[in-house]
Amino acid sequence: MLHRRSNAGKSLTALVFLGAITPSLSLISSGIDAAAATAPPAGHSQWPAYGKVPPTTSPEVQAWLKLVDWTKVPKIGVRHTKDPGPPACPPIAAPASDCWWTCSGCADPDDVVDCPGKKVWGLTFDDGPEPGTTEKLLELMHEKNVTATFFVTGMKSTKAPALLKQTIDRGHHLASHTWSHQGLTTLTNEQIVAELMWTEKFVFDHTGYKLKYFRPPYGDIDNRVRAIARQLGFKTVIWSNEWDTQDWQLPYKTITPSQIVNIFKKGISSIPARNKGVITLEHDGAPQMVAMARTLLDLGMKSGLKPMDIASCLSDKVGYNAVPAKPATNDSGEHSADGAAADKGVFQCSEYIRND
């Protein structure tokens, strides 16, 4: 989903509704039995509900709150929002010391906004996993022989947990996009911890990988959110100015494919003058987005951009805060590749791209 700065107030309705509409769309398109898919694994009472900020009173969240030194978290107020979703930007700018990206365009030196290498293209897909489109994106990446970072939400992961491992097994990079996709500046400190840590736990329990990189929904981050995320071990990734593809609007028909191509071509025309690479923002959520991803990959690669996941673009060989122990060579299934990839011989356990 896009951020408020480049949206300039238009399509706000669609923006706010996306969270509410996507679940039902995904259920229709996938035919997934939500009740069965969300059954918690053994040892868990309950995963947080879909589409809601996880409660902060649970024993899990209470324990996670102790991981943060609260004296290091600036006392910046919780931002207003009319609906669940991005903040309503105030008419009077917040103090520069808040470094509020969504409403003031401020990035911290620690935020990853661009890939450092010239012509390096950080390829990112947000808001999945989405049964029916994630698989198609994985096929597309395989066809083009590139890897991407998938910023997944915890709530979507509960509907398709197997897609998490499948994404990693096919050489891609998973990162966090929080549990329920709220504007984090509109949440309390405790809620921010719950959003980040439940997502980390869900992905860890289903893959053995502990997420390191995180993208705030709507790019909504200020120094309060940063101080919490940083202490929980997360590195913030936003996206390059002018490289928000706006593909999330495709299902709403508030933008045409050719308008998106034009946005992208404008970006490409700025490449020769850039002394660094780019990070694009695309989404995993609808067939139109997969088609657009193909168009943009072709365009970008033709103009010399080198697509890769965020860990690779940062030369981070691990890309996670923890990875599973190396699978034994005679391991019989726990780490086996998904069928399609195995048939093509593109993946074996020993080929985990960042397992060491």
Q: Which does 1 bind (CB under 5 to 8 A by kind): Zn ion, ligand NAG, none?
A: Zn ion
DSSP of 226-288, one letter per residue? HHHHHHTT-EEB---TT-B--GGGGGGTSS-HHHHHHHHHHHHHTGGG-SS-EE-BEESSSHH
**Judged by CB under 5 A, how many residues of this single chain contact Zn ion?**
4
In the chain, the N- to C-terminal Cα span, in Å, equals 33
Q: At which residue do the structure tokens 């028909």 appear? A: 253
Q: At which residue do the structure tokens 């990734």 appear? A: 237
Closer residue to ligand NAG in complex, CB, 71/329: 329
Binding residues vs ligand NAG (CB under 6 A)? 145, 328-330
Ramachandran class of 233: left when φ > 0, alpha when ψ lies in -120 to 50, beta otherwise:
left
CA–CA separation, 166 and 129 (whole Å): 10
Contact 121, 300 (CB under 8 A): yes
For residue 1, state whether it binds Zn ion (rule: CB under 5 A): yes
Q: Which does 328 bind (CB under 5 to 8 A by kind): ligand NAG, Zn ion, none?
A: ligand NAG
Amino acid at 338: D
CB of 126 to Zn ion, least distance (A): 4
Beta bridge partners of 112: 237
User: Alpha carbon of 265 to those of 195, 247, 300: distances in Å?
Assistant: 35, 14, 9
Q: At which residue do the structure tokens 């197997």 appear? A: 162
CA angle 173, 177, 178 (to 5 degrees): 130
User: Alpha carbon of 309 to those of 6, 122, 217, 243, 271: distances in Å?
Assistant: 23, 5, 19, 15, 19
CB of 318 to ligand NAG, least distance (A): 18
Closer residue to ligand NAG in complex, CB, 159/172: 172
CB of 140 to ligand NAG, least distance (A): 14
Closer residue to Zn ion in complex, CB, 167/355: 167
Whether residue 283 lies in the annotated active site = yes
For residue 85, state whether it binds Zn ion (rule: CB under 5 A): no
Closer residue to ligand NAG in complex, CB, 45/145: 145
Q: Which residue is nearest to ligand NAG (CB)?
A: 328
Closer residue to ligand NAG in complex, CB, 242/351: 351
CB of 307 to ligand NAG, least distance (A): 10
The footprint of Zn ion on residues 92-131 (CB under 5 A) is 126-127
Closer residue to ligand NAG in complex, CB, 62/350: 350
For residue 60, state whether it binds Zn ion (rule: CB under 5 A): no
Q: What tokens does 312 get?
A: 């690779």
Q: How many CB atoms lie within 10 A of CB 205?
A: 15
Q: Choose the catalytic residue: 3, 283, 284, 309.
A: 283
CB of 330 to ligand NAG, least distance (A): 4
CB of 153 to Zn ion, least distance (A): 7
The footprint of Zn ion on residues 200-219 (CB under 5 A) is 217
CA–CA separation, 17 and 165 (whole Å): 29
Q: Which does 330 bind (CB under 5 to 8 A by kind): Zn ion, ligand NAG, none?
A: ligand NAG
Closer residue to ligand NAG in complex, CB, 258/332: 332
CB of 143 to Zn ion, least distance (A): 25
For residue 18, state whether it binds Zn ion (rule: CB under 5 A): no
Q: Choose the catalytic residue: 98, 111, 114, 126.
A: 126
Q: How many CB atoms lie within 10 A of CB 97?
A: 11
Q: Which does 126 bind (CB under 5 to 8 A by kind): Zn ion, ligand NAG, none?
A: Zn ion
Can you list the positions of beta strands (E) in 12-136? Answer: 120-122, 124-126
Q: Which does 190 bind (CB under 5 to 8 A by kind): Zn ion, ligand NAG, none?
A: none
Helix (H, G, I), strand (E, B) or coil at 16: helix
Whether residue 338 lies in the annotated active site = no
Sheet containing strand 120-122, strands side by side:
278-279, 120-122, 306-308
Q: Which residue is nearest to Zn ion (CB)?
A: 1
- Give contact residues for Zn ion (rule: CB under 5 A): 1, 126-127, 217
Looking at the annotation, which residues are catalytic? 126, 283
